[in-house]
Amino acid sequence: MRIPLALLATTLLLVACTTAPATEDPSIATSSSSEPTQGSGAEMETRNVSYEGTVKPAGISIYQQGTHRLLLPDGRFILLESSSVDLNGYVDERVMVQGSIRPTVEAGGVIMRVDNIALLEPRNGASSLSSSMESSVTVSSIASSTPPTTASSKPGVSQTQSSTADVASSTPPIIERETLSPEVEARTKTMEKDKTTADQWTQQYCTGHIGFCVPVHRNWYYKSFGTTTSALWHVEMSSEDIASVYAGPIQVDLYPGSVSAKKATDGQVRVQGSEVVGFREWTENRHFEISAPASLEAAVGYITVHVSQYTEQ
């Protein structure tokens, strides 16, 4: 039996229509193609943004990002983080921050990756060091004809001079340093065992903001706490990681005024009871005091001599 040609054509047309694929929903296709890929968070950043406010510690909050927060004039805040700026040095200071902002993982927050920071007001003058820094029984001098300019300079020759009569007539009675905590005492004993020859000082802490560098022993940790209630700048060194202020046996402080106000001379290292202090004159009527338990006198002497000006790399 022959099938009429018209009937065959109609049958083939019906089969073709029933097997054709359905058209995709345009809205689904658009959603799929525009979804950001994992790791594309950097594309959400808005760059070169500036804010003015007061830097505060991050504190306890629902936000799990950032090391600090910037309190804005209207009471709001943004979170801050930075790999290039020492934010600890600006806590409680009014500043302008510049960098890139993005939303936080938690809804409603904003975090800035800080690239630059500038003070909006002069820093408050720091108070003088406690009276325990103003007494002495033994005077130690680090002989150096010219103050070193780089952290790699060779240390000066150490000469110890004792002059009880001179010290007694020029300084008040000794006030001993407070007893060391067990933690600091244990770290001090570890640091005592390390050699202090020039080849051991392979690290350095530098701050471009304040403009100085100090050498750091190859085995030691260091941490900057920025401005404190008594110092213009405060840095600590320890044999272990430093989690809180004053946990490091060696402390480097920048103070206002000249070393002569402490009845000391530039480069002098002197033992004051259970503590040793190195004095170093600095620019703009400021000076450094490097302090530690007396058993770390050699390390304090090296650091005192090798404080240097910060230079751009």
Predicted confidence band at 4 (pLDDT cuts at 50, 70, 90)? low
The two tokens of residue 170 are 């020029």
Predicted confidence band at 288 (pLDDT cuts at 50, 70, 90)? very high
DSSP-assigned beta bridge partners for residue 226: 234
**Domain segments of the chain: what residues?**
44-119, 131-309
Q: Please report the pLDDT score of residue 306 as a whole number.
A: 97
CB-CB neighbours of 160 under 10 Å: 13
Listing DSSP states for 117-179 in one string gives: EEESSPPPPPPPPPGGGG--SEEEEEE-SS---STTSPPPEEEEE--HHHHHHHSPPP-PPPP
Residue 60 has pLDDT above 80, yes or no: no
CB-CB neighbours of 288 under 10 Å: 24
CA atoms of 153 and 147, how far apart (whole Å):
10
Residue pLDDT, tens place only, 105-115: 887 788 999 98
> 44-119 belongs to which CATH class?
mainly beta
Helix/strand/coil for 113: strand
Length reported for the chain: 313
* Range in 39-48, 76-85, 132-141 the model is least confident about: 132-141
Residue pLDDT, tens place only, 147-203: 333 222 233 333 322 222 232 233 333 333 456 889 999 999 999 999 999 999 999
CA atoms of 14 and 3, how far apart (whole Å):
16
Predicted confidence band at 123 (pLDDT cuts at 50, 70, 90)? low
Residue type (1 letter), 107: A
CA atoms of 150 and 136, how far apart (whole Å):
30
Residue pLDDT, tens place only, 224-253: 988 887 889 999 999 999 988 889 999 999
Cα angle at 127 between 310 and 214, to 5 degrees? 20
